[in-house]
Structure 1
Amino acid sequence: MISAKGLSGGEGRKLFPYISRELLAGMVATFALIPEVIAFSFVAGIDPEVGLYASFVIGIVIAFFGGRPAMISAAAGSVALVAAPLIHSHGLPYLLAAGLLAGLIQIVFGLFRLSVLMRFVASPVRTGFVNALAILIFSAQLPQIFAANMQGLLLIIAGLGIIYGAPRIIRAIPSPLIAIVILTLVTNFWHLPVRTVADLGRLPLTLPHFTPLTIPFAWESLQIIFLPALAIAMVGLLESIMTAFVADDLTDSNSNKNRESLGLGMANIAASLFGGIAGCGMIGQTVGNIRYGGRGRLSTFAAGAFLMILILGLRPWVSQIPVAALVAIMLMVSVSTFNWQSIKDVRRLPKLSAIIMLTTVLVTVFTHNLAAGVLAGVLLSSLFFSFKIAALIKIHIIEEADSRIYQVKGQVFYASADMFIDAFEMKGIEGRSVTIDLTHAHLWDVTAVEAFHKVQTRFRHHNVDLAIVGLNQASAVLIDKLDPE
């Protein structure tokens, strides 16, 4: 039993400010979330209610099961871009099924602790991913800009002016929210002939409800949704883990990336079962939540809960928001997402790093597939790394009267195995003894062992007295395990 003294004393004084700070931070994150979620729904080609339902469900579930307190997750632009082709070709039911499968993939990643694989996504690949995302978000707005009338174009320009100008006057209210309020008032006061959110599709009338899957339970359906689901899962994991790293830096703390993968998978399964699109971590909203004081799970919960309270309570007003305001917000998101420093860095970065970053961007932009771009970047960075490590192998030859010593230094694996074999010259070796010194070398894989056996066979074919010295225990165990004899 808690005494009145305990409740009103030190514990109470600590508890109530914490709760109020967390709630207010979550509410601010919600205000920054609403316009982007509606805009991302617009980009994906789905009704706003699909993105809003998803963001509410994801926010609630991730608050309990996520691995990074104070992190905001919702229907995000990166996932919307990946999901858009599936929606256009097969419709919303297949998107919900793909989101469900993506959630299962993310849970598998979490259970088997595979989130550690994200560490192999090199910095140039991450930069390329972010820049490609910014370019795709920007390009997705071009059809709306070209189709807009003069009033719509003026509203877009005015919206950008408010978004970038308002923070100089007031910082307590997110500038995208100010832009939405002003542009909506202007549009209604002058009855401007421009498209509004109501023209994009339905807004929520009720709380999310269970939505059973309606696609055929057949192999053909799995073939349709598997690759989009895999792309949604990988992009969502990458974006969420990158967001978690940002939150870790801002709060000087560590988070459980495997638990975040589990929580995200559970959230996306729940969102799909309640009629919403899959989502992931939102970098901008997470940074805003933390800067306004959010540190715990309560702020994440508040952002999700307040989102639905606000939408259901202000639905008539939200439906009147001009599409031009959403376009202005997405242009701002694109500009702020792009890593402008990377343009300068291209000149000073090593050429291979610059090539990796540019390849990630180009593959993503031309395929409109963020997962394909990241995969290309990872493969290219792995290839360059292998070549770099392979080039580090050195074999020094010491010639003596009746013997030859090979001193091997470096890593012998699939990329350096041929160099290892070519270094052992058979010419003039008859009648001499040979010593291979592996004190400063290591055999890593099957290819390395095969190369080692091939060198031994060559020397034996020439009737050479061969001695192997300095073989470390790990290499010796691998050789014994793979010994063809």
Structure 2
Amino acid sequence: MFNLITQKDGNVKNDVLSGITVALALVPEAVAFAFVAGVEPMVGLYAAFMMGLITSAIGGRPGMISGATGATAVVMVALVAQHGIQYLFAAVVLCGILQILAGVFRLGKFIRLVPYPVMLGFVNGLAIVIFLAQLGQFKLIDNLGQHVWMQGEMLYLMLGLVALTMAIIYILPKITTAVPASLVAIVSVTLIVHGMDLEARTVIDFVKDMLPVDQKASATLAGELPTFSIPMVPMTLETLYIVLPTAVILCLVGLIESLLTLSLIDDMTNTRGSGNKECIGQGVANSVNGFFGGMGGCAMIGQSMININSGGRGRLSGITAAIVLLGFILFAAPLIEMIPLAALVGVMFVVVIGTFEWASFRIVRGINKEDAFVLFLVTAVTVAADLAIAVVVGVIVSALVFAWKHATHIAAKTHMDKDGWKVYELDGPLFFGSVLHFKDLFNPEQDPEDVVIDFKDSRIWDSSGVDALDGLADKYEEAGKKLHIRHISSECRGLLRKAEKFVEINVNEDPRYRIATDQFDNAV
């Protein structure tokens, strides 16, 4: 049904070892995001397992890792707090259905509309977000229940272990690439900490910090297989009104983050994933989550980078990560609980360094100031708000900048032909942004009796342009002048009201293109 190995340089060994590395890094992230959403740790771990398994098997991007994410967890908080976790499961099911429909109707292609500066800002902002998230591991909970920064020997030990982890990841590939450096680093630091009985914080310490005092003693990551259950909510319109807003936002946030991550991995691996297939994969995974007690999610940029950097290229890498994570939950929870947080933080710091587009500082010097503004704006909004919001803001600002820059690109060369007619040879697009400049090009009062407007090197892109041409034709008619309009498409002629009678039809020379208007189903 699908190829487990989809990249010519991918192989079973690399995918399996990379998958194990990713599984180790998934645990604290899934637990942390579960607490962000206001649900139990196991709900986040189940989500990481199901999202990873299903999207790796049927999604559109081999090598990309999905699971519970912070971007989706933040959206869930209000719904869980106000109505309970069963309503969350219903919202996740509905989110999955909407994502499947997005794939069926081939909406994934619209990721192409994201400009390059927005992509750079997204990547840089994401790297900063991942870095800031790791700083939370340097905090403790004091006797008053407040988070305070580590100090003294504990801080020095944490920094030393993080540095050791990063050093192993950087140095080992120069010696051998037989095993993923991240996996070796995690195992090595774990053995050092427990072999030397060092007082380093572990994954189970992190889980205990998240729990109330009366639950700390029994804290564990051990669990059982998720079971099927229809969300226990009333099947009424009122329930739909409650879950629909959250479902829609989850759908949009998940698809935007997943499709941008897909594009990023495409660039890194020189391959091409399927955005529409990924929409369907994410949708199926989220729907299954809702029926099996998971919080859902989307693509995880950090874990995806760990997978790619560790050599994972095929679907087997993501499937391995999911199955190994389930194995940890069912049989090996104590082994995961003893992993030092410093080792996982070190791995994520390496991901941050590799994810951040350091070349963007050089690029800024060479590109125009508008693109530089968009780049820094998207980075700032990503850090301050949300990845999806940042991308939407970036696309809107880029579109406005594009419209503003092209608004002044319309011009006209004029000359008198042999019959004494004045010819305006237009150059540039005629659309809503350039309408005012277009009108300023003409002088109906002073022009001769016959005037030609030639669109051979120009195009009318929207209804605003059509309306401007109608208005100009009206002015020449009021001035008693004869207007001749050449080289516009048949669609434009069909939309003109006052200027249609001035169009000179030449089937062989007139262009064929559509304009942006609801009157044509195929408008582009």
Superposition TM-score tier, normalisation by shorter sequence: 0.7 to 0.9
Distance 1:189 1:251, change over 3 A: closer
Deviations 1:249-268 (A, max 9, x none): 56554332211111111112
Q: For 2:163, give the aligned amino acid.
A: G
Alignment of 1:74-473 (within 5 A): 74-80=67-73, 83=76, 92-146=85-139, 147-150=148-151, 152-167=154-169, 168-169=171-172, 172-175=179-182, 178-179=185-186, 182-183=189-190, 186=193, 190=197, 192=199, 194=201, 196-199=205-208, 200=210, 203-214=221-232, 226=244, 228-249=246-267, 252-283=270-301, 285-286=303-304, 289=307, 295-323=313-341, 325-366=343-384, 368-399=385-416, 403-429=421-447, 432-473=449-490
Q: For 1:407, give the aligned amino acid.
A: E
2:522 corresponds in structure 1 to none
Q: For 1:268, give the aligned amino acid.
A: N
State the Cα distance separating 1:383 from its structure 2 match. Answer: 0.8
Task: Normalising by structure 2, report the TM-score.
Answer: 0.77
Q: For 1:317, give the aligned amino acid.
A: L
Q: Which moved more, 1:281-290 or 1:378-387?
A: 281-290
1:3 corresponds in structure 2 to none
Q: Which moved more, 1:241-250 or 1:414-423?
A: 241-250
Measured in 1, the distance between the counterparts of 2:123 and 2:66 equals 17
State the Cα distance separating 1:293 from its structure 2 match. Answer: 6.1
Distance 1:67 1:140, change over 3 A: closer
Measured in 2, the distance between the counterparts of 1:29 and 1:209 equals 24
State the Cα distance separating 1:82 from its structure 2 match. Answer: 5.4
Measured in 2, the distance between the counterparts of 1:295 and 1:479 equals 54
Distance 1:231 1:123, change over 3 A: farther
Q: For 2:193, give the aligned amino acid.
A: V
Deviations 1:392-422 (A, max 9, x none): 2112232579542222122111111222222
Measured in 1, the distance between the counterparts of 2:200 and 2:46 equals 29
Measured in 1, the distance between the counterparts of 2:242 and 2:500 equals 45
Measured in 2, the distance between the counterparts of 1:276 and 1:75 equals 9
CA contact 2:21–2:182 (8 Å) conserved in 1: no
Deviations 1:300-323 (A, max 9, x none): 323322221133221123234455
Measured in 2, the distance between the counterparts of 1:77 and 1:98 equals 17
Measured in 2, the distance between the counterparts of 1:279 and 1:206 equals 20
SS of match in other structure, 2:424:
strand
Q: For 2:21, give the aligned amino acid.
A: F
Distance 1:387 1:464, change over 3 A: same
State the Cα distance separating 1:449 from its structure 2 match. Answer: 1.0
Measured in 2, the distance between the counterparts of 1:239 and 1:478 equals 39
Task: Normalising by structure 1, report the TM-score.
Answer: 0.82
1:66 corresponds in structure 2 to 59
Deviations 1:132-171 (A, max 9, x none): 2222333334455342433542343133212211121465
Distance 1:215 1:323, change over 3 A: farther
State the Cα distance separating 1:87 from its structure 2 match. Answer: 5.9
Measured in 1, the distance between the counterparts of 2:420 and 2:31 equals 78
RMSD over aligned CA atoms reads 3.6
Measured in 2, the distance between the counterparts of 1:416 and 1:279 equals 43
Consecutive unaligned residues in structure 2, runs of 5 or more: 140-147, 212-219, 502-524
SS of match in other structure, 1:347:
helix
SS of match in other structure, 1:262:
helix
CA contact 1:439–1:470 (8 Å) conserved in 2: yes
CA contact 1:408–1:436 (8 Å) conserved in 2: yes
CA contact 2:426–2:458 (8 Å) conserved in 1: yes
Q: For 1:160, give the aligned amino acid.
A: V
Higher helix fraction (1 or 2): 1
Q: Which moved more, 1:158-167 or 1:197-206?
A: 197-206
Q: Which moved more, 1:384-393 or 1:225-234?
A: 225-234
CA contact 1:156–1:327 (8 Å) conserved in 2: no
